[in-house]
Amino acid sequence: MEISRWQFAITAIFHMSFPALTVGLSVFLAVMYTVHLRTGNPLYLQIFRFWKKIFAVGFGLGVVAGTVMTFEFGLNWGRYAHAVGPILGVTIGMEVITAFFLEAGFIGIMLYGDGRVRPRTMAFACWMLVVGTLLSTTWILSANSWMQDPAGFTEVDGQFRASNWWHVLFNPAFSYRYPHILLAVLISASWFIGGIAAWYLVKQRALPFARRTLSIALGVLAVLMPVQLYVGDATAAFMGAHQPAKLEAFEGNWKTDNNGYNLLVVPDTDKGKNTFHVEIPHLGAVIGKDLSGTAHVPGLLQTPKDERPNGTRRRPGHGMRRPCPGRGPCPHGMVPWARSPAGHRDHRAQDRHQHTGDHRGCR
């Protein structure tokens, strides 16, 4: 059982790394090509051509890893897959019929149609690919949210069957989890794009490309990060109401006597305590909307043992969740810096590259 969990967790983490980038990259590529089409500025076409190659690699790896994960779902969790198959099988099948077919039909035009088809056809293919990636995100989040908070089903002979497909697809958790994940993948892609552009900027290579790309990425982050803070908080509040034990496990407290915020936790589930933890005092209470910082964060011991989430000595992903509330202010400090003289290392060099068309190292 533990091996199956580790195998599925590793596969899921590896797979999710690619859709987390390619969904946002598809939007970025469509916007860049559309701006080039409307303005005729070759810089946006250069940006499009550079990033579509990275998108193609990530898209291919995501498809392959997702196929492996689908097989693991049935092989590692056969009894569960049999029980929920009449619902999840249909939902995931709809992703294939709608999203995959749409993506397969237009990704070839986007990758190889540049210079071979009309520019408007290229733009249309790019936006159809965006629709496909968003449809894929919608179906997967609908299925995952149903597993978190199932609705619209009846149990017949040990299987869950849909009694109301609207309630199945748009279950209560979906309205919170979908915008949270959609914002997350757009933010992840923006950080990735901004990081590559910053590297080019530091190396003083392809400066017009680097500066414009970094500016766009930071602008998107400055807009989306505050929204994500609000949506993420609402998602956590929903989880606290519908899955309190899960939220208690996320917070990493066993006893309800801590008002701090755990940055790192190594739990001992057998003894019901943390072997090691690093916390910021009072921050947990403040995040829980107690500005005095004295309220206690709920602990896992208040939940009956048979209702607690299954865990190992070290929960994968727990440490990755901890920095979430600290990400919001970062772009707001970076954007002014990027537009300040300190961020513009060499205006004359940029102008020289712009006028001579020197884009070496960025093809």
pLDDT score recorded for residue 321: 44
pLDDT at 259: 80
Please give the pLDDT value at position 26.
95
Element (H, E) at 160: strand 159-162
pLDDT digits (tens, 9 = 90+) for 293-319: 788 888 888 888 777 776 533 443 343
Residue 224's pLDDT is: 96
Tokens of 119: 């520019």
* Residues belonging to the chain: 363
pTM for this prediction: 0.81
Q: Kindly tell me the sign of the dihedral angle through the C-alpha atoms of 56, 140, 1, 301.
A: positive
Would you state the pLDDT for residue 324?
Answer: 55
Contacts made by residues 315-324, CB under 8 angstroms, sequence distance 24+ = 315/249, 315/265, 315/267, 316/6, 316/9, 316/13, 317/9, 317/13, 318/250, 318/252, 318/264, 318/265, 319/263, 319/264, 319/265, 321/250, 322/261, 322/262, 322/263, 322/264, 323/263, 324/232
Confidence at residue 362, expressed as pLDDT on a 0 to 100 scale = 58
> pLDDT tens digits for the chain (363 residues)?
778 888 888 988 898 889 889 999 999 999 999 999 999 999 999 999 999 999 999 999 988 888 888 888 888 888 889 999 999 999 988 988 888 889 888 999 999 999 899 999 999 999 999 999 999 999 999 999 999 899 999 999 889 999 999 999 999 999 999 999 999 999 999 999 999 999 999 999 999 999 999 999 999 999 999 999 999 989 988 888 888 888 878 788 888 887 888 888 888 777 778 888 888 888 877 877 777 778 888 888 888 877 777 653 344 334 334 455 555 555 555 555 554 444 544 444 444 444 434 444 555
